Chains A and B, each alone.
Chain A
C-alpha cells in the first residue's frame, strides 16, 4: 500500500515551453502533497506544499508564477513548469501524506521525474 506515482518519469523539452508533471496517490487519499526539487548529488529541497482544494504554499525563493501547482483532487496534484529554461533541469519529486490514520504523519514519495530543458 501507500504507492505514489509520477508521470512522466522523464521528459525533455525545449527552452520556453511548459511541462506538466502529475503526481498521484494510488491507494490512499492525500490531503497534502509536496513538491521537491533535487539537483545532482544534493538533497531534496521543498518547493511547495499543496492542500486539496486550496492554493499551494511556496517556499521562499520559489516563483509561484513559474511553478504552477494544482491539487484538484485527493489523489492528484500537478506541477507545471512554465517557460522552462535550462536551469530548471532537475529531478522533481512529489510526496503525499494520508489524510487520516496512524500513518497520517508519514510522507510517501513518488519515483521522481527527470526534466531536461534544452
Chain B
C-alpha cells in the first residue's frame, strides 16, 4: 500500500531552536519527494523537491534529506522563527505516468516566543 507517515504529529519548540521532522514512505514506484509548508487556511507551499539521486537539498533555513534505500526523509529547520509555525507535509510522487502525489498527514509545528 502506498503510504507516507510523518512524525511527530505535532511539535512545540522555542523560537531560535532547531528541529527535525521525519517522513517514512512505502510509495512505489518512486519519482520524487517533496516537503510543503501549509499555513492555517492556506494552500501548501513547496519547500524542497528531491529525486531519487538527491540526498540533500536546502532552501534557506530548511534542509531536507532523502535516503531512498531506507525510504526515509527528514526536514531540518534551523534557527526557528515564529513564522515557521505551520503544518509541514511530506509528499511522495509516484511515477505512474502522470506523477500522482501521496500525501503524509503532516507535522503541526508551533514555534513559541
Q: Tell me, rounded to whole Å, the shortest Cβ–Cβ distance linking A27 to chain B.
A: 15
Provide the bound-state CA to CA distance between A45 and B32, in Å.
Answer: 19
Chain B residues with CB under 8 Å of A6's CB are: 43
Chain A residues with CB under 8 Å of B100's CB are: 46
The stretch from A63-71, A72-80, A101-109 touching chain B is A101-109
Given contacts A97-B99, A105-B31, contact A43 B104 (CB under 8 A): yes
Contact with A along B80-113 (1 / 0, CB 8 A): 0000000001000100001111011110100000
Considering the complex, give the chain B residue whose CB is closest to the CB of A6: B43
Q: How many residues of A contact B (CB 8 A)?
A: 24
Provide the bound-state CA to CA distance between A118 and B42, in Å.
Answer: 22
**Does A114 lie at the interface of the complex (its beta carbon under 8 Å from any beta carbon of B)?**
yes
Provide the bound-state CA to CA distance between A54 and B99, in Å.
Answer: 18
Of listed A32, A41, A42, residue having the most chain B CB within 10 A:
A41
Chain B residues with CB under 8 Å of A49's CB are: 98
Question: How big is chain B's contact interface, by range?
Answer: 20 to 34
Cβ–Cβ contact A111 & B105, under 8 A = no
Cβ–Cβ contact A112 & B104, under 8 A = no
Provide the bound-state CA to CA distance between A93 and B45, in Å.
Answer: 12
Of A32, A107, A114, the residue contacting B41 (CB under 8 A) is: A114
Provide the bound-state CA to CA distance between A106 and B51, in Å.
Answer: 12
Of B41, B46, B98, B103, the residue contacting A44 (CB under 8 A) is: B103
Provide the bound-state CA to CA distance between A95 and B103, in Å.
Answer: 14
Chain A residues with CB under 8 Å of B44's CB are: 44, 93, 109
State the B residues within 8 Å of A (CB).
Answer: 31-32, 36, 41-46, 49, 89, 93, 98-101, 103-106, 108
State the A residues within 8 Å of B (CB).
Answer: 4, 6, 32, 34, 41-46, 49, 91, 93, 95, 97, 105-112, 114
